[in-house]
Amino acid sequence: MAKLPVRKKTQTLRQQAKAAAIAKPRPRRLKATANKVSKPINKVRSISKKSYFLPLPDNRIGRFLNKPRRVIPKYFRDSWQEVRQVTWPNRKETIRLTIAVFVFAISFGLVVALVDFGLERTFKQLLLK
């Protein structure tokens, strides 16, 4: 007797979405770029920590240069950490949010125009009579 071939069950859209949510997300372009930029910097830090270099003198300049964290101000370090945490919207979300901004701007402009028109007519009637 010949065995029947086993058919693989196809996933429903809900199952596919659930599997995609569980799967590890791919790094975004910004994070990938940030990682590429930080690799050489980390290499330089690791080399500078080793005893390849003579220690700098123990004065104000030596203490300043021996601590790599002080070379870059805290504001820029904190800003860089925040930028690395940003998740950018995809194309569909960007289009949807852009349309929402345009709709809000047009509706707000119409409201301002109507209020301006109404106040202009009211003041003309009150002051010019």
Kindly state the average pLDDT of the residues 2-6. 72
Q: Is a pLDDT exceeding 60 seen at residue 5?
A: yes
CA angle 30, 34, 40 (to 5 degrees): 155
Query: Bigger pLDDT: 69 or 31?
Result: 31
Start-to-end C-alpha separation, the chain: 105
What's the CA gap between 71 and 48, in Å, rounded? 14
Percent over 70 (pLDDT), the chain:
66
Can you give the residue ranges of every domain in the chain? 27-88, 89-129
Q: Is a pLDDT exceeding 70 seen at residue 62?
A: no
pLDDT in tens, 20-33: 778 766 656 767 77
pLDDT in tens, 78-125: 888 888 888 888 999 999 999 999 999 999 999 999 999 999 999 998
Output the pTM of the full model. Answer: 0.37
User: What was the pLDDT predicted at 119?
Assistant: 94
**Distances in Å between the alpha carbon of 6 and those of 9, 12, 16, 66?**
9, 19, 21, 66
3-state secondary structure labels for all residues of 50-117: CCCCCCCCCCHHHHHHHCHHHHCCHHHHHHHHHHHCCCCCCHHHHHHHHHHHHHHHHHHHHHHHHHHH
What's the CA gap between 121 and 124, in Å, rounded? 5
Query: Bigger pLDDT: 77 or 104?
Result: 104
3-state secondary structure labels for all residues of 10-53: CCCHHHHHHHHHHCCCCCCHHHHHHHHHHHHHHHHHHHHHCCCC
